[in-house]
Structure 1
Amino acid sequence: MAGDEGAFAPPLGDAGADPAAVGRTGAAAARLAAAGLPVTPGFHVTTGAYRRYMELTGLRGPVLTAVRSAASPAEAAAAIAEMFARHHLPTELDGAVRWAAARISGRDERVSVRASHPDAPGEPAPPPADFWDVPADGDLPRAVRDCWASLWSADRIAHRERAGVPHEDAAVAVLVQKQLLPDVAGVLSTVAPVTGSPGRVVINAVRGAGATSPDRPAPPETIAVARPSGRVIGRTGPAGRLLSDARAAELAALGARVEEAAGEPAEVQWALEDGAFTVLEAHPLEGLPGGDAVEAWNDTPHVDHLWTAAGLGEAVPGVMTPCTWSLVQMFMGRALPAWSVRGYRAYGRVGGRLYTDASRARALGLPVRVPPGVRVPRAGVPTAAAAVGVLEGAWGARTGRRRAADLRDGFPARCEALRARIADVRTPGELRALWHEAVRPAFLNACRMVEAAGYGRAGDGVRDGLARLVGGEAADAMLAGVRAPGGEPLAGSGPLDGLARLARGDLDAAAYVRRWGHRGPYEFEVAEPRPAEDPGWLPQARAAGADAAVLLERRRAASRDAWRLLRERHPRKAAAMRRRLARWARAEDRREGARSELARMFWVLRAYVVRAGELTLQGDDVFHLTIGEVLGLLRGDDAALRRVPVRRRTYERYRALPPYPALIRGAFDPFAPRPGRDGASAARISGLAGAAGRAAGPVRVAASPADAAGLRDGEILVTTATNAGWAPLFPRAAAVVTEADAPASHAAALARDLGIPAVVGALDATARLRTGDRVEVDGTGGTVTRL
């Protein structure tokens, strides 16, 4: 009997269990068992046993005759079903099945019996041929026979005839497993089912047998778990939790092991019984998106214009997710309508990054930063549109400026309250309503705040006037010492000053995070966490603050000396210059303060989109939807999710590219080969004077703050552009060189605050220099020289 059992009913983990012998379902279960996964005990009834049955019962000939002579597959199936019903399992097969069942279960236990068909391309899913709650010592042989009979269902007969598969070659195996009585059971997808995103496991759970049996009495609890962290990012369903966060993380890890054993994304049936998870079945996930198609996030091929990363690109330096791009478009249309008047947009995407269309901006009369000597091709913008753009921008700034202070007053508290309301929302419908009720109005309020404050900077003329009187270094020191009304540092310098106060103990961590925790290098990208969300950020900030405190104190002394020099050389002009600087400081603080509060609002927008991902269980896939599509998803329309795979692939491909040029003329292909580094041309790079002084040292080229994390004291930081989020890195740098900035940029302002030389607008610096080169930076003359 044992020999028959081995030939006809081998154990589940049999090393020789291949699909031809045990079918697809059986082979998958065998692989899981061989990988050491917790699989329900069971055994196979092989295709060899089926053929032996057909031989011993003499059914082979009559079955084939019925198929050939019947008027239809349905007629053949009915006749063959009667044949199988009249023939029980012969003794040798009946004994083998019962013997194998005795080894996995007790006398009164139950088993599940499922047909397991061999691999057959295009074969339809088996018809209902699964039997549950079968007594192991009773009706098991009959259930096996009925699974064999399912091979001759009308659907399978019709399929074989359409596919040209000979009926003589057909065979089926059976998988028998011990029946569980689980507390909770369900189905797990090791990747997001619709988008195929690998960073998320989706679990469906029901009480009792649930998804492990044909009857599903209750709606499931659905849980999304982030991979590989195991963090639960959302759940829907019954109020009472069927799986704790810890259990969900444990199950997600088990799913990852199943995927590893299968070698591909899988759908896993599981059960939780007596505190232990068991894998019931696993098969490949079907219908996942494939291919390598990408979208074109590039506006430059359409027109022969000059595009610049200065200004707007400084604020949004990275590749934008579709959600961020939709919000930026909303901002540009609401806050800066002159930049988007009547369809003549003065901004666009270059390889997914935000650039200003300098040609169109000039035609619309808008402020744009272009280095001296660079020709700006003319744009074909109708005179009427240009006039409307200029008037709209000027009128909005003039009429709204009176409201700027009112708009800013209390805005941090309103944003904090909004984030708390977003966190408390429990359903997608409530979150969608909150957008229209509170989030969108607050965003439009922030847009009006920026419009009211005016856009751009006016520091160049002030600095030049000071430099003519006392020289560049003294002028920088005087600008660094200017305070906002009330004695606080200017809003643009606030994060740096806050780090210094944090290091000195004048400001506690909670107060710093509350005031400046929203400022970061990607503060207008909703997919990127804010510094306040990163527990590891604060210790690094304290270290940077200690260096900043020393440099800022030294700078205050330099500022006092510079004012003394001005009074000595030009006593009649000192008072007038103080008044001019005070006016400049008010305007600068108003502009930078508005930008800071807009960044705070983008933190609220990020919280909203993150919560949408939690409540819809889509996780970070929502960042690859526009804000309109996110709202549609909250309404139950998930059609846009099918666009996510292509958008995610596009986003990752653009992010992997090296830094783009600061200025782009005409068509630009981000994927085209870039010119290599030329040693001769890199000997001297000309730019603009950002912060006076000289410094020499090794270069550290960085495309992002993450690249610059290894910046050492005394190194020269070289990058495309910086913003307030780079502030913790500046105290370590001996000098700063940027490609896209201007003398009134954040890079120049931060360098002046700290008293370190800076050259800005140094085109192609990141391409012509590499980490380890030794250079001298002349911030007064605006040059970088290789040593």
Structure 2
Amino acid sequence: MPDLVFQLSDPTAADPSVAGGKGAALARLRSLGFPVPDGRIVATEAYRQLVESPEIEPLIADLADAAEGETDEREDLAATLREAVRSLSLPPPVTDALAALPPGQYAVRSSATNEDLPQASFAGQYDSYLGVEGTDALADAVLRCFASTFTDRAVAYRARNGVSTASTRMAVAVQRMVEPDASGIAFTADPISGDRTVSVVEAGPGRGDAQVSGTATADTVRFDADAGETLSYAVGDGRSERVLTDGDVRALVAIAARIAAALGRPQDVEWAIRDGEIHVLQSRPITALFPVPEPRPTDDRTHVYYSFGHRQGMPEAMPPLALDVWRRLTDRVGESFGLRVRFTAAAGGRLYLDLTPFLRSPRLRERLLENFAAVDEPAGDALRTLLAERPDEFPASAPSIGGYWRAARSATRVAPFLARALRGMPRALCCSDPAATPERVKETYDARVERAARTVRGAETPAARVEAAHRAIRDAFDWLLDPFYGPFLAAMLSGFLLRRLRPGHREHVDALALGIEADAVYRMTMSIGDLADVARETPAVAAAIRDGATREELADRVDAAAFLDALDEFLDEYGFRAVGEIDPSRPRYREDPTPILNAVAGRLETAGGEHRERTAALGSRARRARRALLRESPPFIRPIVGRLASVYRGNLGIREHPKFALSRLLDLFRDAVLDAGSELESAGALSDRDDVWLLSYDELLAGLDDPRTLAGIGLAERRREFERFRGLSAPRIVTSDGTVPRARPERESGTALTGTGAAPGVAEGIARVVTDPGRERLERGEVLVAPYTDPGWTPLFLNAAAVVTEVGGRLTHGSLVAREYGIPAVVAVADATDRIETGDRIRVDGTRGVVERLD
């Protein structure tokens, strides 16, 4: 029979499956020589023997079934379980071990197997008891710790973090009680800013009960770990004297730093001081910290990074292979612009771009901030705050001969790109037919992509196909913008000139961008409306789609043949797209058309052809605006205004063409990688082909050459890390020391939320918070509230009365599409999906950048 109690110094106690997260950390720290009070671990095996009894096991199964159900039912079951566990008797080996403890007081602390994890600390979720004395009292405290597995807060916390109650095991640490003169917590990184160079110590007298209960505030010390000096010491309310001496602070910071180094990540260390001696009572990861970008800088300077995902409107984590490919591609682009150092870093499964070289030049710094004002206001605000608070760390370099020489070298690299970009602009501005430009550019892209596809499909081996697909994406950056920039820059210049020539007619100029049917995304959404019209022709099929039928379920229906033919036709043209499509690991519409079916379902309550009528109405508004511009212009400039208006509207239709072409190339890469994954699964190197996304690019090629090279890589750990990263909220701006600078304070009052006004107009409606368009549906006339919107979200715009997002700027995808659709949009609204709930009635003012709750 397995042992049920271990000495804290026993190596077995350092196993989290035996001692739980807290107990294992304490055992490991004690083995490393840290001042951890001695004691015993009541192992998880004792808990298992109790809860797998006939009285308890069925109740746990019922609680698992109720985890997603009504709160009252869940809480009633949890209360029943707590009482049932407390009524049991501990196994005799446990009570014997407790009886053998030396006399005195003990601290009895719960230690669950899912506690103190990197992704979820479970701090405060389970119970602990201090000053426990006597065998009976100790046994009761252990049972109460076991029973705290089922506290309401612990059950709810596990549900939020996707942790199974049935798989949870509880151990209990029973340690000699330290009656402290002072106690508190030492954070080895600033838990608010994320700065890894600053430690924060909180301290209170005695056990700190008043601080824990909130009736008193702790002393708070900020300590510069690099400089070895206290930055600030704030004495808690109601006290005039400091709890800690300078020596106490230095010693606590030093011990906590060594613990963090031993455990491999920043820690939240609970400590106590008795008669000048420091005791470590607990240590757990600081789960709220976003990882520091890697690789670290080698120049001993603080670097500043911007989230590539926020710029692309998709800030979610990517698995290692997708991230590795984007790093390679982006670094290659940086090299082409003369950047001598690596341009990218990775943090939390996201790609970050190093802004530091741009901050060193006063001119580039100002242009960078101006650019952020257009594309991502909160990022610009955060960057300005950082530069204001830490000016000495980001000095603008004074002009020098070396600087001029480097600028000249960079200019020689950039000049050919600029020449190519500008080459086609004069012709597009003055001569070519704007109405024909979108189709001509599309044909150019189609030919390029088809050529790449033939090369990839003609490769003879999985490795050759992966390399060919990767090369196709890499080489695309040499030609992707050539057909685009000339006409598009002509459109931008035309819009600028129209606003300068007709300064009182901005509304008419903006109206020229409404309902551009040549736009690739607009065409796709119109096709979704057409799909809804086909479904509407067969009421039973429409009802099935409205009820959430999948493509497979529709395929079993004889009456759905016409709709499925139309769906297949749609997927032939647009099936390479996806939600979050810059991540090639994500399923494409042709694999899972659920987002499209949801968008169709949302259209079924509208009249047939309504989307086409709306497009015609937007086109009519654009034509009226053009006539008004001409009518109200002086006769001598009317030909110029007419040409500029045609170029502006016509050439805007190519805005999404490069992204469409790149998305098709990413789709080719996805196919090649999945084929490679199947090959490795057949060879026994992977248990599932989708695990291929957990490899790096070099590992994938090496594995295809010899599957044995993948042995021991640790895919399970990578999968856990990726899942942890997916749960993190990525900052727009982060520094190399982990600091996440705050954006401007929000200008809020009452029920109003503020952001960036991205598409003009005002609309009211019922909010629908959508975090996954593959599972959620937007009904006609609702306000879409989303974390972000990339092209894969665009089908929802067809039903939206307005759009509110947490990420974006005036020039990001969702903003431009909203303007084309003529619906108001406010972007960069902090925590919009948390602060607005589905069912709230809200007003969206896209002109002022304000969202108001009306209920």
TM-score of the pair, normalised by structure 2: 0.49
User: What is the rounded CA distance, in whole Å, between the counterparts of 2:650 and 2:310 in structure 1?
Assistant: 22
- 1:620 paired residue number: 690
Cα deviation code 1:526-570 (max 9, x no counterpart): 211111222545534545676643432331222222223222322
Amino acid at match of 1:342: R
Q: CA deviation at 1:474?
A: 3.9
Give the 3 Å change call, closer, same or farther, for CA 698–607 of structure 1 in structure 2: same
Q: What is the Cα deviation at residue 523 of structure 1?
A: 1.5
Structure 1 unaligned residues grouped into runs of 5+: 1-17, 20-259, 264-290, 483-487
Instruction: Tell me the amino acid that sits aligned with residue 702 of structure 2.
Output: G
Residue 450 of structure 1 pairs with residue 480 of structure 2 = yes
**SS of 1:614's equivalent?**
helix
Would the alpha carbon gap of residues 354 and 431 (structure 1) be closer, same or farther in structure 2, given more than 3 Å must change? same
1:630 to 694, 700, 706: 700
User: For the structure 1 residues 454 and 570, does the alpha-carbon distance in structure 2 shift closer, same or farther, using more than 3 Å as the test?
Assistant: same
Q: Which has the larger radius of gyration?
A: 1
Structure-1 separation of matches of 2:735 and 2:504: 38
Q: 2:632 aligned to 538, 553, 569, which one?
A: 569
Instruction: Give 1:298's match in structure 2, choosing from 260, 282, 293.
Output: 293
Q: Does 1:653 align with 2:690?
A: no
User: Residue 730 of structure 1: CA displacement?
Assistant: 0.9
Matches within 5 A, 1:368-387: 368-370=371-373, 374=381, 375-376=383-384, 377=387, 378=394, 383=403
Residue number among 634, 640, 662 corresponding to 1:598 in the alignment: 662
Q: Residues 628 and 701 from structure 1, CA distance in 2 versus in 1: closer, same or farther, beyond 3 angstroms?
A: same
Displacement of 1:693? 0.8
Query: What amino acid is aligned across from residue 329 of structure 1 in structure 2?
Result: R
- Matched residue type, 1:399: R
Q: Kindly provide the amino acid, as one letter, of the partner of residue 318 in structure 1.
A: E
- Looking at structure 2, the residues matched to 638 and 537 of structure 1 have their Cα atoms a distance apart, in angstroms, of 39
Provide the secondary structure at the position in 2 that maps to 1:324: helix
Cα distance in 1 between the residues matched to 2:799 and 2:838: 16
Q: CA deviation at 1:432?
A: 1.6
| CA 1:333–1:612: 2 relative to 1, 3 Å | same
Q: Distance in 2 between matches of 1:702 and 1:304?
A: 37
For 1:348 and 1:637, locate their aligned partners in 2 and report how far apart those are by CA, in whole Å.
29
Q: Secondary structure at the match of 2:513?
A: helix
Mapping of 1:623-702 within 5 angstroms?
Answer: 623-640=693-710, 642-657=713-728, 659-662=729-732, 668=738, 683-702=751-770
Choose the corresponding residue for 1:611, options 653, 672, 675.
675
Question: What's the counterpart of residue 528 of structure 1?
Answer: 586
SS in 2 for 1:343: coil
**What displacement does 1:585 show?**
5.9
Secondary structure at the residue paired with 2:480?
helix
Determine if the alignment matches structure 1 residue 717 to structure 2 residue 784: yes
Contact 1:518 1:531 (8 Å CA) reproduced: yes
* Aligned partner of residue 779 in structure 2, secondary structure: coil
Q: 1:559 aligns with which of 617, 622, 632?
A: 622
Q: 2:525 aligns with which of 488, 492, 496?
A: 496
Pairing of 1:310-349 with structure 2 (within 5 A): 313-314=311-312, 316-335=314-333, 337-338=335-336, 341-345=339-343, 347-349=344-346
CA deviations over 1:576-633 (Å, ceiling 9, x no partner):
3443355556765556322211111000110111001101102111101112211111
Residues 1:434 and 1:714: Cα distance change in structure 2 (over 3 Å): closer
Specify the code of the residue in structure 1 equivalent to 2:322.
T
Give the whole-Å Cα distance in 2 for the aligned partners of 1:315 and 1:388. Answer: 32
Letter in 1 for 2:413: E
Question: For residues 378-527 of structure 1, what are the structure 2 equivalents within 5 Å?
Answer: 378=394, 383=403, 388-389=409-410, 391-399=412-420, 408-414=445-451, 417=454, 421=458, 430-436=461-467, 438-452=468-482, 469=503, 473-482=507-516, 489-500=518-529, 502-503=531-532, 508-527=566-585
Q: Is 1:580 aligned to 2:644, yes or no? A: yes
Alpha-carbon separation, structure 1, partners of 2:822 and 2:765: 16
Q: Assess, with a 3 A threshold, how the Cα gap between structure 1 residues 762 and 316 changes in structure 2: closer, same or farther.
A: closer
Pair 1:577–1:512, CA change in 2 (3 A):
farther
Instruction: Please report how far the alpha carbon of residue 721 of structure 1 lies from its aligned counterpart in structure 2 after TM superposition.
Output: 2.7
SS in 1 for 2:372: coil
8 Å CA contact retained: 1:480, 1:752: yes
Whole-angstrom CA distance in 1 between matches of 2:485 and 2:734: 23
| Cα distance in structure 2, aligned partners of 1:516 and 1:621 | 26
Q: Could you tell me which residue of structure 2 aligns to residue 732 of structure 1?
A: 799
- Aligned residues, how many? 484
Answer yes or no: is the 8 Å Cα contact 1:688–1:760 preserved in 2.
Answer: yes
**Corresponding residue of 1:353:** 350
Pair 679,386 (structure 1): closer, same or farther in 2 beyond 3 Å: closer
Do the aligned partners of 1:453 and 1:591 also contact (CA within 8 Å) in 2? no
The 8 Å contact of residues 400 and 448 in structure 1, kept in 2 or not, is answered as no
CA distance 1:448–1:680, shift in 2 (3 Å): closer
Note the C-alpha offset of 1:349.
Answer: 3.4
Displacement of 1:465 in angstroms is 6.2
Partner of 2:541: none
Report how far residue 653 of structure 1 moved. Answer: 0.6
Unaligned runs of 5+ in 2: 3-165, 170-262, 266-284, 388-393, 425-440, 535-562, 604-608
Q: Do the aligned residues in 2 keep the contact of 1:297 with 1:352 (CA within 8 Å)?
A: no
Kindly provide the amino acid, as one letter, of the partner of residue 719 in structure 2. Answer: R
More divergent stretch after superposition (546-555 vs 377-386)? 377-386
Percent identity between the two aligned chains: 27
With over 3 angstroms needed to count, the CA separation of the structure-2 counterparts of 1:305 and 1:637, relative to structure 1, is: same
Tell me, in whole angstroms, the C-alpha distance in 2 between the residues paired with 1:733 and 1:566: 30
Q: Report the Cα distance in structure 2 between the residues aligned to 1:386 and 1:649, rounded to whole angstroms.
A: 44
User: Whole-Å Cα distance in 2 between the matches of residues 541 and 599 of structure 1?
Assistant: 21
Residue 599 of structure 1 aligns with an amino acid whose one-letter code is S
1:348/1:474 CA distance change after superposition, 3 Å: farther
- The alignment status of 1:755 with 2:822, answered yes or no, reads yes
Per-residue deviation, 1:729: 0.7
Distance 1:786 1:716 in 2: 12
In angstroms, what is the RMSD of aligned CA positions? Answer: 4.5
Compute the displacement of 1:319 (Å). Answer: 0.6
CA distance in 2, matches of 1:501, 1:363: 52
Counterpart secondary structure, 2:586: coil
**1:479 aligns to what SS in structure 2?**
coil
Give 3-state SS (helix, strand or coil) of 1:742's partner: coil
CA 1:764–1:308 in structure 2 vs 1: closer, same or farther (change >3 Å)?
Answer: farther
For residue 463 of structure 2, what is the amino acid of its counterpart? R
